[in-house]
Amino acid sequence: MDEVIIATKNEGKAAEFKTMLAPLGVKVRTLLDFPEIEDIEETGHTFEENAVLKAEETAFALQKMVIADDSGLSIEYLGGKPGVYSARYAGEQKDDAKNIQKVLQELKGVPHEERSARFHCALAIAAPGQETITVEGTVEGIIAEKPEGMGGFGYDPIFIVKDKGKTMAQLTKEEKNKISHRANALNKLQLLLQHEDSVFRGNKEDR
């Protein structure tokens, strides 16, 4: 595997995948390098379903092996919202600042101990004629009262990482990429591909 295509147009995710995959010495490209691929509708009800949709449609369009990431924030007090709607929680235009404001408004006055949340990252790896594989990673946290920190992207400034007592946006890139939902999912995927290294050779009938 000398090249990996990540089926995302999210610059924050793209940067994290590039950093995390750098030690493997593989070239990483994303959909930002393939502007001709149109937006894929995320019609699934779970992160996993959406990751599979994005990976399979992109693998078919490019006729290459592709990894897709569907991720988001699940807040216990809100019954799991924004969940699969995280990117467009405050409107179609995907605005991180507005999404954060909406969440903080909905949690206004809610005490610390009822502000539990979890980031999810589902990864799907698909290739033409192969069975798609999925994994999921999570990280536990608490929703802050106000945004803190400049790092990361998305909801990072309001997500206090349980084991760190700091928001995800206050961690260094290296720290985030060690403990994040995305790092956990990617580690699982790497383990799976190591143990089943036949997966991306031959087609599924051969296995």
- Rounded to 5 degrees, φ, ψ at 27 are -80, 135
The pair of structure tokens assigned to 166 is 């700091």
CB of 170 to ligand Y43, least distance (A): 12
Residue 176 is labelled as binding a ligand:
yes
Q: Which residues contact 180 (CB under 8 A, 6 or more apart)?
A: 16, 119, 121, 137, 139, 168
Q: Which residues lie near ligand Y43 (CB under 6 A)?
A: 8-10, 13, 42, 69-72, 86-87, 99, 119, 152-156, 168, 180, 182
77 is in an annotated binding site: no
Which tokens in the block code for residue 189? 């995927």
Helix (H) or strand (E) holding 147: none
Q: Is 27 annotated as a binding residue?
A: no
Helix (H) or strand (E) holding 118: strand 116-126
Select the binding partner of residue 156 from ligand Y43, Mg ion, none (C-beta < 5 to 8 A, by kind). ligand Y43
Please name every residue paired with 125 in a beta bridge, in sequence order, or none if there are none: 67, 133
**String of DSSP letters for 8-62:** ---HHHHHHHHHHHGGGT-EEEEGGG-TTSPPPP---SSHHHHHHHHHHHHHHHH
- Comparison of 171 and 186: residue with beta carbon closer to Mg ion: 186
Q: Is 175 annotated as a binding residue?
A: no
Shortest gap between Cβ of 121 and ligand Y43 (angstroms)?
Answer: 6
* CB-nearer residue toward ligand Y43: 120 or 127: 120
141 interface partner picked from ligand Y43, Mg ion, none, CB below 5 to 8 A per type: none
Q: Give catalytic residue positions.
A: 70
- The site map against Mg ion for 66-95 (x = CB under 5 A) is ---------------------x--------
Which of Mg ion, ligand Y43, none does residue 55 bind to, with CB < 5 to 8 Å depending on kind? none
